[in-house]
Amino acid sequence: MTGAAKMGKVRSFVDPPARAENFHAGQSPPRADEVRQELAKIVASTVFRDSLRLASFLRFVVDAALTGKSSQIKAYTVAIEALGRPASFDPQDDSIMRVEAGRLRHAIAHYYAGAGIDDLIVIELLPGSYVPLFRRRTLSPSTGPRMRGEPGELPNGGIADAIQALNDDQATLNAIFERLAQVRRQIEAMAAEIDTAKKLLEQYNLASRPWY
Protein backbone atom coordinates (compact mmCIF):
# COMPACT_ATOMS: atom_id res chain seq x y z
CA MET A 1 0.00 0.00 0.00
CA THR A 2 1.39 3.40 -0.96
CA GLY A 3 1.93 6.22 1.52
CA ALA A 4 -0.93 8.23 -0.02
CA ALA A 5 -3.27 5.25 0.24
CA LYS A 6 -2.31 4.75 3.88
CA MET A 7 -2.94 8.43 4.63
CA GLY A 8 -6.31 8.24 2.90
CA LYS A 9 -7.25 5.19 4.94
CA VAL A 10 -6.20 6.85 8.19
CA ARG A 11 -8.09 10.02 7.35
CA SER A 12 -11.27 8.13 6.54
CA PHE A 13 -11.05 6.51 9.98
CA VAL A 14 -10.29 9.70 11.89
CA ASP A 15 -12.80 11.93 10.10
CA PRO A 16 -15.77 9.72 9.17
CA PRO A 17 -18.63 11.30 7.21
CA ALA A 18 -21.94 11.95 8.88
CA ARG A 19 -24.39 9.07 8.52
CA ALA A 20 -26.17 8.81 5.17
CA GLU A 21 -29.64 9.34 6.58
CA ASN A 22 -28.62 12.69 8.04
CA PHE A 23 -27.67 14.63 4.92
CA HIS A 24 -29.50 15.83 1.81
CA ALA A 25 -29.44 13.58 -1.25
CA GLY A 26 -27.15 14.63 -4.10
CA GLN A 27 -24.54 16.15 -1.81
CA SER A 28 -21.37 14.74 -0.32
CA PRO A 29 -21.96 14.52 3.43
CA PRO A 30 -19.95 16.72 5.77
CA ARG A 31 -17.46 14.83 7.92
CA ALA A 32 -18.33 14.31 11.55
CA ASP A 33 -15.54 16.64 12.66
CA GLU A 34 -16.88 19.37 10.35
CA VAL A 35 -20.34 19.00 11.83
CA ARG A 36 -18.96 19.18 15.37
CA GLN A 37 -16.99 22.34 14.49
CA GLU A 38 -20.16 23.88 13.09
CA LEU A 39 -22.07 22.87 16.23
CA ALA A 40 -19.43 24.55 18.39
CA LYS A 41 -19.78 27.76 16.36
CA ILE A 42 -23.55 27.73 16.66
CA VAL A 43 -23.75 27.19 20.42
CA ALA A 44 -21.03 29.82 20.98
CA SER A 45 -23.02 32.44 19.05
CA THR A 46 -25.03 35.16 20.79
CA VAL A 47 -28.22 33.46 19.61
CA PHE A 48 -27.49 30.41 21.79
CA ARG A 49 -25.29 31.80 24.57
CA ASP A 50 -28.33 33.17 26.36
CA SER A 51 -30.26 29.90 26.13
CA LEU A 52 -28.52 26.93 27.70
CA ARG A 53 -31.63 24.81 27.15
CA LEU A 54 -31.56 25.30 23.36
CA ALA A 55 -27.81 24.66 23.26
CA SER A 56 -28.27 21.44 25.25
CA PHE A 57 -31.12 20.38 22.95
CA LEU A 58 -29.00 20.93 19.81
CA ARG A 59 -25.88 19.27 21.25
CA PHE A 60 -27.83 16.18 22.25
CA VAL A 61 -29.55 15.56 18.90
CA VAL A 62 -26.41 16.30 16.85
CA ASP A 63 -24.26 13.99 18.97
CA ALA A 64 -26.88 11.22 18.78
CA ALA A 65 -27.09 11.57 14.99
CA LEU A 66 -23.30 11.54 14.55
CA THR A 67 -22.91 8.43 16.72
CA GLY A 68 -25.55 6.43 14.84
CA LYS A 69 -28.29 6.82 17.46
CA SER A 70 -30.83 8.72 15.37
CA SER A 71 -33.50 6.14 16.23
CA GLN A 72 -33.18 7.18 19.89
CA ILE A 73 -33.97 10.84 19.17
CA LYS A 74 -37.54 10.85 20.48
CA ALA A 75 -39.52 13.45 22.41
CA TYR A 76 -39.22 11.51 25.68
CA THR A 77 -35.47 10.88 25.36
CA VAL A 78 -34.64 14.48 24.44
CA ALA A 79 -36.81 15.85 27.24
CA ILE A 80 -35.13 13.62 29.84
CA GLU A 81 -31.52 13.78 28.62
CA ALA A 82 -31.31 17.34 27.28
CA LEU A 83 -34.06 19.37 28.94
CA GLY A 84 -33.89 17.96 32.45
CA ARG A 85 -37.42 16.61 32.61
CA PRO A 86 -38.12 13.86 35.22
CA ALA A 87 -38.61 10.22 34.26
CA SER A 88 -42.36 10.72 34.71
CA PHE A 89 -42.40 13.10 31.73
CA ASP A 90 -45.33 12.52 29.35
CA PRO A 91 -45.10 14.21 25.91
CA GLN A 92 -48.89 14.07 25.62
CA ASP A 93 -49.43 16.17 28.74
CA ASP A 94 -46.34 18.40 28.61
CA SER A 95 -45.86 20.60 25.53
CA ILE A 96 -42.26 21.57 26.32
CA MET A 97 -40.85 19.58 23.39
CA ARG A 98 -43.08 21.27 20.82
CA VAL A 99 -42.31 24.68 22.29
CA GLU A 100 -38.55 24.15 22.55
CA ALA A 101 -38.30 22.52 19.10
CA GLY A 102 -40.01 25.53 17.56
CA ARG A 103 -37.69 27.87 19.43
CA LEU A 104 -34.67 25.82 18.33
CA ARG A 105 -35.65 25.91 14.65
CA HIS A 106 -36.18 29.65 14.88
CA ALA A 107 -32.81 30.14 16.62
CA ILE A 108 -30.99 28.07 13.98
CA ALA A 109 -32.63 30.08 11.17
CA HIS A 110 -31.67 33.29 12.97
CA TYR A 111 -28.05 32.13 13.26
CA TYR A 112 -27.73 31.26 9.57
CA ALA A 113 -29.35 34.56 8.60
CA GLY A 114 -26.78 36.43 10.68
CA ALA A 115 -23.53 35.22 12.19
CA GLY A 116 -23.56 31.98 10.18
CA ILE A 117 -24.58 33.43 6.83
CA ASP A 118 -21.24 32.46 5.24
CA ASP A 119 -20.87 29.05 6.95
CA LEU A 120 -20.35 26.22 4.49
CA ILE A 121 -21.76 23.53 6.80
CA VAL A 122 -25.43 23.74 7.71
CA ILE A 123 -27.23 21.96 10.54
CA GLU A 124 -31.00 21.80 10.15
CA LEU A 125 -33.91 20.55 12.22
CA LEU A 126 -36.89 20.05 9.95
CA PRO A 127 -40.49 20.32 11.22
CA GLY A 128 -42.00 17.05 12.33
CA SER A 129 -38.68 15.54 13.40
CA TYR A 130 -36.06 16.04 16.09
CA VAL A 131 -33.36 14.33 14.00
CA PRO A 132 -30.93 16.93 12.56
CA LEU A 133 -29.80 17.05 8.94
CA PHE A 134 -26.32 18.10 7.83
CA ARG A 135 -25.38 19.54 4.44
CA ARG A 136 -22.79 21.60 2.64
CA ARG A 137 -23.66 25.02 1.30
CA THR A 138 -21.86 26.39 -1.76
CA LEU A 139 -21.67 30.16 -2.17
CA SER A 140 -22.14 31.51 -5.66
CA PRO A 141 -18.74 32.48 -7.14
CA SER A 142 -20.34 35.35 -9.03
CA THR A 143 -21.76 36.99 -5.96
CA GLY A 144 -19.40 35.80 -3.23
CA PRO A 145 -20.44 36.00 0.42
CA ARG A 146 -23.64 37.92 0.93
CA MET A 147 -23.63 41.08 3.01
CA ARG A 148 -25.44 40.89 6.33
CA GLY A 149 -28.33 43.23 6.74
CA GLU A 150 -28.84 43.79 3.00
CA PRO A 151 -32.26 45.46 2.53
CA GLY A 152 -34.99 43.03 1.52
CA GLU A 153 -32.84 39.93 2.05
CA LEU A 154 -34.69 36.79 3.06
CA PRO A 155 -33.26 34.07 5.30
CA ASN A 156 -31.04 31.48 3.61
CA GLY A 157 -33.26 29.40 1.34
CA GLY A 158 -35.40 32.39 0.35
CA ILE A 159 -39.16 32.43 0.59
CA ALA A 160 -39.41 28.78 1.62
CA ASP A 161 -37.30 29.34 4.74
CA ALA A 162 -39.16 32.56 5.54
CA ILE A 163 -42.49 30.73 5.37
CA GLN A 164 -41.08 27.86 7.44
CA ALA A 165 -39.88 30.30 10.11
CA LEU A 166 -43.41 31.72 10.31
CA ASN A 167 -44.86 28.20 10.55
CA ASP A 168 -42.44 27.36 13.37
CA ASP A 169 -43.44 30.52 15.23
CA GLN A 170 -47.13 29.65 14.78
CA ALA A 171 -46.50 26.10 16.02
CA THR A 172 -44.75 27.49 19.09
CA LEU A 173 -47.64 29.87 19.82
CA ASN A 174 -50.15 27.05 19.37
CA ALA A 175 -48.24 24.89 21.85
CA ILE A 176 -48.14 27.77 24.36
CA PHE A 177 -51.88 28.40 23.99
CA GLU A 178 -52.53 24.68 24.42
CA ARG A 179 -50.51 24.65 27.63
CA LEU A 180 -52.33 27.75 28.91
CA ALA A 181 -55.65 26.05 28.19
CA GLN A 182 -54.49 23.02 30.20
CA VAL A 183 -53.49 25.26 33.12
CA ARG A 184 -56.84 27.04 32.94
CA ARG A 185 -58.71 23.73 33.11
CA GLN A 186 -56.58 22.69 36.09
CA ILE A 187 -57.35 25.97 37.87
CA GLU A 188 -61.06 25.58 37.16
CA ALA A 189 -60.96 22.04 38.54
CA MET A 190 -59.16 23.24 41.68
CA ALA A 191 -61.70 26.05 42.10
CA ALA A 192 -64.53 23.53 41.88
CA GLU A 193 -62.87 21.34 44.52
CA ILE A 194 -62.39 24.35 46.81
CA ASP A 195 -66.04 25.33 46.36
CA THR A 196 -67.13 21.78 47.22
CA ALA A 197 -64.88 21.77 50.29
CA LYS A 198 -66.39 25.09 51.46
CA LYS A 199 -69.90 23.70 51.17
CA LEU A 200 -68.94 20.60 53.12
CA LEU A 201 -67.40 22.76 55.85
CA GLU A 202 -70.54 24.90 56.02
CA GLN A 203 -72.68 21.78 56.35
CA TYR A 204 -70.37 20.44 59.05
CA ASN A 205 -70.46 23.71 60.98
CA LEU A 206 -74.25 23.81 60.83
CA ALA A 207 -74.53 20.21 61.95
CA SER A 208 -72.10 20.72 64.84
CA ARG A 209 -73.90 23.76 66.27
CA PRO A 210 -75.86 23.16 69.51
CA TRP A 211 -79.62 23.42 69.14
CA TYR A 212 -80.22 25.20 72.47
Q: What tens digit of pLDDT does each residue of 165-179 get?
A: 565 566 566 666 766
- In whole numbers, what is the pLDDT of the chain averaged over residues? 75
Lowest model confidence (mean pLDDT) among 75-84, 149-158, 194-203: 149-158
Contact between residue 104 and residue 48 where contact means Cβ atoms under 8 Å apart: no
β-sheet bridge partners, residue 136: 121
Q: Which of 169, 20, 17 is nearest to 98 (CA)?
A: 169
Instruction: Give the separation between CA 55 and CA 15, rounded to whole angstroms.
Output: 24
Residue 101 has what pLDDT? 92
Least-confidence region, from 129-133, 163-167, 198-202:
163-167
Q: Mean pLDDT highest for which of 85-94, 149-158, 184-193?
A: 85-94
Contacts of the segment 31-37: beta carbons below 8 A, 24+ positions apart:
32/66, 34/121, 35/62, 35/66, 35/121, 35/123, 35/134, 36/62, 36/66, 37/121
pLDDT of residue 189: 81
Give yes or no for residue 133 having a pLDDT over 90.
yes
Give me the helix-helix angle, 96-113 and 159-208, nearest 10°.
150
Question: What is the distance between the alpha carbons of residues 74 and 66, in angstroms, rounded to a whole number?
Answer: 15
* Interval 43-59: pLDDT, tens: 999 889 888 999 999 99
According to DSSP, residue 27 is labeled S
